[in-house]
Amino acid sequence: MATDAVEFAPAKVNLALHVTGRRADGYHLLDSLVVFAGVGDRVSAEQAADLSLTITGPQSAALTVADDNLVLRAARLMPGAFRLTLDKHLPVASGIGGGSADAAATLRLIARLSGHPLPPAAEVLRLGADVPVCLAGQPVRMTGIGEGLHPLTHPLPPAWLVLVNPGQAVSTPEVFRALDRRDNAPMQALPRLRDAAELAAWVAMQRNDMEPAATRLLPVIAEVRRALSSQPGCLLSRMSGSGATCFGLFADPLSANAAARAISAARPGWWVADAPVFSGKVSHGGPGV
């Protein structure tokens, strides 16, 4: 298939995630620094008489081709019919926006192939709170229930991530219900940062307000963070999103790769990946394309 018929769906990582309130309808208000990593799924498409989806890849067993699959739901918002293939590499229900990234990639891909505009923002948001930020595909400060996307004033310095998921899921609604409080302070303003060490220092001054509750529900999250923190070169470790995936922040690709190899060897049942942080908009073909 031609390269332009493939769309990269990168992992979404919440470097910081503050819960700042709750609306009358029950939706929680967030303030988050969101970045994207150079590891993810890929969605490919061919025009066809009817809409269909095939799921392949190392994480494909965790998904079924059901009517509520986010790729199919996204495709139905666009005109035309396509034979879609989802090459699934990211673990599901893991706090790194895999399903949302897949939906966003589907929208971008069909828009590019068909020449039709993307759906209205309200329809995109109805797919899921993380779909708008995944559709943007670049580092932003995300606010509200996911609809507020604010470009960064300063570009992020080069940095690398090691992502680790223990192969156990934690329910996002359960994490929200278990929060200690819902009216936390927002993030500080992001200053100009010279390097990964300064980025880690700034992130360390922020929080993931969902991490304590998620760790109580799934104590292995603390073990994942310890495994990351113990690696040489790890500047900071934290949970992403509602978990259970955690990330370690590194200043160079060699240290990140060595850490990923060490954790994989010690914990062969865990999902582990090392990847750069994208400082700008992600290429539709993904890393190296």
pLDDT band at 289 (very low <50, low <70, confident <90, very high): very low
The whole-angstrom separation of Cα 128 and Cα 216 is: 25
Which long-range contacts does 149-154 make (Cβ < 8 Å, 24+ apart)? Answer: 152/190, 153/190, 154/190, 154/191, 154/192, 154/193
- Ordered by start, the domain boundaries in the chain are 3-151, 160-276
Peptide bond into 244 cis (omega under 30): yes
Q: Which CATH number is correct for 3-151, 3.90.1150.10, 3.30.310.50, 3.40.1130.10, 3.30.230.10?
A: 3.30.230.10
Question: Is 3-151's fold the same as 160-276's?
Answer: no
The whole-angstrom separation of Cα 46 and Cα 188 is: 45
> Does residue 3 register a pLDDT over 90?
no
pLDDT at position 186, please? 98
pLDDT at position 284, please? 77
- Homologous superfamily of 160-276: GHMP kinase, C-terminal domain (3.30.70.890)
Per-residue pLDDT, averaged over 131-154, amounts to 97
- The pLDDT mean for the chain works out to 95
pLDDT at position 1, please? 39
The DSSP bridge partners found for residue 6 are: 44
pLDDT tens for 161-198 read: 999 999 999 999 999 999 999 999 999 999 999 999 99
3-class secondary-structure state, position 238: strand
Active site residues: 12, 130
The whole-angstrom separation of Cα 217 and Cα 90 is: 22
pLDDT band at 107 (very low <50, low <70, confident <90, very high): very high
Question: CB atoms < 10 A from the CB of 139, how many?
Answer: 22
> Does residue 232 register a pLDDT over 70?
yes
Any residues with CB less than 8 A from the CB of 177 and at least 6 apart, and which?
A: none
Give this prediction's pTM: 0.96
167 contacts 19 by C-beta, under 8 angstroms: no
Per-residue pLDDT, averaged over 94-107, amounts to 97
Per-residue pLDDT, averaged over 212-224, amounts to 98
Which long-range contacts does 232-236 make (Cβ < 8 Å, 24+ apart)? Answer: 232/258, 232/259, 233/258, 233/259, 234/162, 234/259, 235/196, 235/197, 235/199, 235/200, 236/200, 236/203, 236/204
> Does residue 287 register a pLDDT over 80?
no
Per-residue pLDDT, averaged over 35-42, amounts to 98
pLDDT at position 191, please? 96
